[in-house]
Amino acid sequence: MSPEENHARSAARAHLSQLIGIFGSDGCLRINTAPEPEPYGPLATPEAYEPTAPEDDERT
């Protein structure tokens, strides 16, 4: 076997390992269906978490 054939086989094995990682050995695609968590909680905006300065009370 020539060095070129060895390199091609090595690349093919590496690619096959990647495919097995994605699809598994049974051929089923592995996906994650869980939603990404909201960074600031559900339906919240980043502005809701920013500190605000106290309001000036005008007392007379």
Both tokens of 14, joined, read 């590496």
What are the C-alpha distances in Å from 29 to residues 4, 24, 49?
Answer: 32, 7, 39
> What average pLDDT score do residues 46-55 get?
62
Question: What is the DSSP-derived secondary structure letter of residue 37?
Answer: P
- pLDDT tens digits for 8-49? 899 999 999 988 888 888 877 777 777 777 666 655 666 655
Asked if residues 30 and 23 have their Cβ atoms less than 8 Å apart, the reply is: yes
Which pLDDT belongs to residue 55? 64
The Cα 1–Cα 11 span in angstroms is: 15
